[in-house]
Structure 1
Amino acid sequence: MANGPGFDRRALLKGGLTVTAVGALSTLPAGTAAAAVTEPRIYGTAEWGARPPRAPIPVENRRPTYIVVHHTVEPGNTDDFSRERAFWISRAIQNFHMDTRGWIDTGQQFTNSRGGHITEGRHRSLEILRGGTRHVQGTNVANNNSQVIGIENEGLYTQVDVPPALWNSLVKLVAYIASQYRIPTMNIKGHRDFNSTECPGGVLYRRLPELRQAVARELGVPATEPAEWPLLKPGDTGRDVLVAQHLLRARGARDVPTDGVFGATTRRAVARFADAHGLGGHTCYAGAHADERGFLGADLWPLLAPTTTADSGGDAGRAAALLTRDPEPLTPHRWKALLNA
């Protein structure tokens, strides 16, 4: 396990269409530029007492595409906001990742404590970030590690908000990374925008539009909001669940009810579908105890939603008709936009 009782990773790593038409950073008009952002105080691996990695750190010879926000989940929402606590959590994460998960080093590139203390996660992440042209490959978003840079935020944010100190340091860190790598604000994402996981928690996830706006102000550019696939999990109800149930039935899961309730049968069908596509372990795959198997998220929706029309009949057509009466075919791009509406 890790440095202290009751600690795990998600347990500690529990890791389209836009609202505006104007992009940021990479799509700025000619002759404009994002403002330079001052590097926040980031404590390097030597400062918090990291172990050496067990293998050379992989470095991608290009900039990352996305900045990904995570929450650690455990060991919970401490009131210890000290720098010493930030160093402890950094060591605990590294121990868990190396000793329990068998990884070469800490999975995420950076860690942000509840007290707003930022630490380097995987070795060389800070050095390479300062160069602005390459990035350290981490282990925090399944099937996407070569294109993301991940930030673990200490705490559990499914029901409660982040402390102001954590929020302020998160804005500064994300703005600095975006400035260094010219990452547009629409590419500031949550872990659930890639995998079927609750991470970074519903409360923090719902603040991502606010984070994009805050980062855009730091950069002096317009903010852009992306459309994202919804996350469905046990206990959810409503239209999106009913859409998913029809789509699962269209894929052969005839035991799934069409009651708009994400119950045990629906969960089992989602889990079987994920397994059939090799994604059964790609939820919170770094977690020791969190059970997110059968959650339906961003990696499964594109495989589940066919290109079809609302008048095509069958369960796929009935799913489409719940979203639109437009005869235009629903591609995965349109499914996402309509589910996001």
Structure 2
Amino acid sequence: MTESGMGRRSFFKGGLTVTAVGALGLGWAGRAAAAAVPTPRIYSTSEWNARPASGAITVENHKPTYIVVHHTVDPGNSSETSLEHAFKISRDIQNFHMDTRGWIDTGQQFTNSRGGHVTEGRHRSLEILRGGKQHVQGANVGNHNSECLGIENEGLYSKEDVPPALWNSLVNLVAYIAHQYGIAPAMIKGHRDFNSTECPGTVLYNRLPELRTAVGKVLGSAVEREEPTWPLLKPGDSGRNVLRAQRLLRAKGADVPADGVFGASTKDGVAAFAAQHGLSRDICAATAATDETGFLGSDVWPLLVPPGGSVSALRADLSA
């Protein structure tokens, strides 16, 4: 798959409040610039002995809109926390992305290890981040790579929590990126906010409000009210939202049951509907062996809005 159409980057797999500053006319960029934000230690591609990119690195001539949190899935939740391990993970990711995915370089801009070591992913990401006016285009969020900056967090966080070292380094890294670009904490997202994927794992995804709050504290500002998110449905799920999805799919001509159970036929129906609308079948595959085809999430739901309905109304209904 080409980088332009891909989505998953996997390697195998006390300051002023928002209202007060707004009243002063400073905007978020002014708040972030005014805060004293520590610069994290980020190891460059040369320090972990990265291969040269096989093609030209694209530098977007604008700041990113979103900071996107991912998990790597493989090599799992290792107990190894050394810097050498973090460097090896970075090399393994790059090798998979270049040799198996066929991309020009590592897909994400930065990688965060379970030991709390942060490395540069795609070449030039660190250099351009320090400038604070542009960003390197990665390959980690399908159809949104020109507006997103991605961070891979080593491990699988569908059921287990992140270790403290990884969490602390994630807070520091995200705060620094937000500071450099003037990005509000509300724009810190998970991969599943853009594509139908488990990423960054349910446990880590559910901690994103906590991450936004922690980053807001570093930046010295309050965080805006959380907006409803799209539910992620996958095989084995059941209940009201599955039934709602099945009825909406049937209204769009999909051959699925209306029994409230996300079985094989519903999975196939979602996959066919997604393909019909140009969404990649393996856009969110976490590993070469893991199949997320047929998952129904944030890129599929808006396509199911009934005539006369609205995206916001459907999202609110699903969140009720």
Task: Report the TM-score, using the length of structure 2 for normalisation.
Answer: 0.90
For 2:75 and 2:136, the matched residues in 1 are separated by 26
Q: Which runs of 5+ in 2 are unaligned?
A: 1-7
For 2:9 and 2:93, the matched residues in 1 are separated by 10
Contact 2:242 2:260 in 1 (8 A): yes
Trace 1:53-202 onto structure 2 (pairs within 5 A).
53-202=53-202
Residue 340 (structure 1) aligned with residue 316 (structure 2) = no
Q: Which amino acid aligns with 2:182?
A: R
Q: Which amino acid aligns with 1:231?
A: L
1:298 alignment partner in structure 2: 298
Cα distance 1:187–1:23, how it changes in 2: closer, same or farther (>3 A)? farther
Q: Deviation at 1:286?
A: 6.9
Contact 1:227 1:336 in 2 (8 A): yes
Contact 1:256 1:269 in 2 (8 A): yes
Q: Deviation at 1:257?
A: 2.2
1:311 alignment partner in structure 2: none
Q: Which runs of 5+ in 1 are unaligned?
A: 1-8, 15-21, 309-329
Residue 30 (structure 1) aligned with residue 31 (structure 2) = no
Between 127-136 and 36-45, the greater mean CA deviation after superposition: 36-45
**SS at 2:31's partner residue?**
coil
Task: Report the TM-score, using the length of structure 1 for normalisation.
Answer: 0.85
Contact 2:68 2:149 in 1 (8 A): yes
1:242 alignment partner in structure 2: 243
For 1:26 and 1:142, the matched residues in 2 are separated by 34
Cα distance 1:183–1:162, how it changes in 2: closer, same or farther (>3 A)? same
Between 286-295 and 236-245, the greater mean CA deviation after superposition: 286-295
Contact 1:172 1:215 in 2 (8 A): yes
Contact 2:247 2:258 in 1 (8 A): yes
**Residues 1-36 of structure 1: CA deviation (Å, up to 9, x unaligned):** xxxxxxxx876265xxxxxxx859996742462314
2:3 alignment partner in structure 1: none
Contact 2:9 2:139 in 1 (8 A): no
**Residues 29-50 of structure 1: CA deviation (Å, up to 9, x unaligned):** 4246231412101101111111
Q: Which amino acid aligns with 2:213?
A: Q
For 1:10 and 1:59, the matched residues in 2 are separated by 18
Contact 1:158 1:203 in 2 (8 A): yes
Q: Deviation at 1:54?
A: 1.1
For 1:28 and 1:263, the matched residues in 2 are separated by 51
For 2:54 and 2:9, the matched residues in 1 are separated by 23
Q: Which amino acid aligns with 2:235?
A: P
Q: Deviation at 1:222?
A: 1.2
Q: Which amino acid aligns with 1:240?
A: N
- Percent of pairs identical after alignment? 66
Aligned length: 304
**Residues 298-325 of structure 1: CA deviation (Å, up to 9, x unaligned):** 11111112243xxxxxxxxxxxxxxxxx
For 1:181 and 1:52, the matched residues in 2 are separated by 27
For 1:26 and 1:287, the matched residues in 2 are separated by 44
Q: Deviation at 1:101?
A: 1.0
Contact 2:128 2:135 in 1 (8 A): yes
Cα distance 1:266–1:183, how it changes in 2: closer, same or farther (>3 A)? same
Q: Deviation at 1:145?
A: 0.5
**SS at 1:151's partner residue?**
strand
Q: Which amino acid aligns with 1:33?
A: R
2:216 alignment partner in structure 1: 216
**SS at 1:33's partner residue?**
helix
For 1:206 and 1:108, the matched residues in 2 are separated by 21
Q: Deviation at 1:283?
A: 3.2
For 1:26 and 1:121, the matched residues in 2 are separated by 34
Contact 2:21 2:31 in 1 (8 A): no
Q: Which amino acid aligns with 1:148?
A: C
Cα distance 1:13–1:146, how it changes in 2: closer, same or farther (>3 A)? farther
2:266 alignment partner in structure 1: 266
